[in-house]
Structure 1
Amino acid sequence: MIEKFIEFNENRARALCERYVLHVVNVFCATQPKIKLGHKQPKVCRYCGKDESSTTFRKESHAIPIFLGNKTIIDELECDRCNQHFGNHLENSFAAYTLPHRPFQRIRGRNGIPKYKARDLEVSAVDQSNLSIYVGGDGGIDALEVEGKNQLRFKVVRQPYYPTAIHKILIKMALAMMPADDHRQFNYLKPWLLSQDHEPGLSGSVPIVEWEIAGGVNPSKITCIVAKVKKAFEESTYRYQFIFQYGNFQYQLVIPLPEECGQSKDFVYAPVFLPDAHFRLFGPSDYQEKQFDSSERVREEELTIRLQHAGKSIDGPEMLQGSD
C-alpha cells in the first residue's frame, strides 16, 4: 500500500513538472532571513492599486497569515488598508477553520502556540515537541483510546467561519507570491478580495484540494508554490495553480484567468511535497475536495483528530497527528 502511494505521488510530481514551471518559496524556521516580496519596487499596492500618495505602507504585511507560523514571508506591496481588511474579513475565518489542529501541530503564531479549549477538553503545547492534554468527563483520557492501536481520538468543534473567506485568503496568498506581470492578470479578482461580503465570486472554479498529512512534521516549515503552465499546454490546462503546505496540511487550487472561468480544462493534481521516507514511516496521506463557495457562516462543525503515541505513556515528544 505504501509503495503504491509513493508511486502515485511520484507520478503526480512528474505530471506537474511536465506541464508547469514552479516558483517555490520555502520557510524552514522562523529565524531564517526574511523573504521580502516586492522589495525595492515602487510602492503600489498589488490589491487596491493605490500608491504612497493615497495610502500608507507602514505595517509589516505577512503574505501568509502569522497565525500559521509565518514570520518570514513579508509582502512590501500590501498597503496598510488592505492589510487591515484582510485581517478583519478573511484571516479570521481561516484562523477559526484551522484552530482545532494548530495546537496538535504545535504551530507557533504571533502570541505563541494556541490552545484548544472545550468543556471537557483542553489541548496546549508545552513547546514544539510536547503536548499537555486535560480531559474531563467519564473515563478521562482512557476513554479516548482507540482499541487495538496506540492512538487517541479527539472530538473537536471548529469556531464559526465563512467558507468563501477561506477561498479568498488562499487566492490572496497566491497573488502575493506572483511577479507583477502575473498578478496583474488577475485584477478582476481584486475587488472581490476587497469586498466585505462573503458572496462567492468565481464561476465554475474547480474544488480546492485539501491534503491531510499523517505523521510528525516540522511545525515551522511552510512551502508556497505558484505553478505557471508551460506554453505547450496553455490551451488544455489551467494556467495558474497555487500549492500551499504548512504543518499537516497542503492546499491546492486553481487561480482562473477571466477567460477560464466556467471552462473545463485539465486539472493536474500536485503530489504531497515530502520525501518518500516520511510516508514509509507514517503511512500515506489522504485528501478531500473542498467547495469553499458558500456565503453562509458555518457553525459548530465537528471533526475528529487522531493522535498516535509511542505507548501507554502519552506525554512524550513522539505524539503524531492524524485526522478522520
Structure 2
Amino acid sequence: MEVGLTRTADGRLEAAMRNCKVSTDQLQIVGTGLPRIAEGALEKLLIYLVCTLINQKGISALNSYLSTAPMVADVFPDLGIKLDYSLTRDIQVTTQSLDMSFKGQAYVQNQPPLMEKGGVEPVFKENNMMAYVGITEFFFSSAARSFYDAGIMSKKFEIKSKIGKAALRIIQFFTQPWNLRESLQTELKLIEAPTIKITQADGIIFNIRVAGSVISSGSRKPTVLSLSVVCPGSMMITIEGDRLFLPSKDFNCQVESKSVFNKKLNKKINKKIQEFLSDWFGEGWKIPFPEGMNFIQGTVQYQNGFVVVGGDLRFTPAGREKVFKKIISGT
C-alpha cells in the first residue's frame, strides 16, 4: 500500500491512496461449492473490498482528522497573539524521513503578515531519533515582534531603596520642587522590537532596547529622570512535554546615559526585567502538537541561523485512545 502526503491549498496535511495491492498467495477458499472461475472472481472481489475499505475508512478518517486540526494556535489568547504553523510546501519523502516545512509565524493581526524572504534553511544531520524540529531566527523574531506589537512589554514598580529615593529627590528638588511630596514610580518600556540571532557558539542571542523613566505620581505625572537601556542576553532552548522553554542567561542590562547612579540602576533594571520575563515565559510556550501528544527531548544543536531539537514523539494514554477511536469509528 502506498500513501502519499501532500499540502492542501490552505496549508494542511492531506493523505491520498496512490497504490493498493493485496496478495492472495496464502488465501484458500474451502467448501464453497463454487466453480473455480467463481472462486477467482470472489478473490478479486475481496481484494477490491480490502483496498476500498482502507481508502474509504482509514484514509478518509485520517483526512477527516487532519482537516479539523487547526493550523493556527492561540498561544496567548488574552493578548491576541497567534501562531500560524501551516505547511509551506508538499511533504518531501526520502528513504529515511518525511520532511515537512511549516511557517512558524507569530502575529497579532487578524491575518498573518507576508513572510520575509531569505530565511535560513535548517540542516538535519542526524536520523537516529523519531523527529527533529528545526526552528529558525524567523520564528523567534516574529514572536518578539508580536509581543512588541501587543504593547505588553512594559513594567512599573515602586522605588523602595532609601538611597535611590534620596538621590532622585535631589534631582527633583532642582527640577520639580513642587512635587517633592509625591511618590516616585519607575517604568520600563520596550521602545523597539527585540533583535534575535542564533549562532553555533552562543545559542539564541537577543538584544532589547528599553526606555526607563522615573515619574512623579502627581496629577500630571511629570518625568523626573529618563534614560535609555540596552539589554543583551542569550537563551538556551529546552522542550518539556508540549511546552517550549526559553530560560535566559548572561542577562546584562546597561544604562546608556552617563550617571553616577548607573551601577544601582543596572542592578535594579536587570532584576525587574528578569521578573518580567519569568512572569510571561516561566510556564513555557505551548507547542501546537496534536492533543494527547508529547515530545521527549533528546538533543539540541545550534547552528548559524537556526536550532535543531531532536526527540521522540509519544502519545499519552488518553491521546492514543482518542486517535484509535477516531480511526475505528471513521469520524
Where is the strand percentage greater, Structure 1 or Structure 2? 2
TM-score higher than 0.5: no
* TM-score of the aligned structures, taking structure 2 as reference length: 0.27
Which entry has the higher C-alpha Rg, 1 or 2? 2
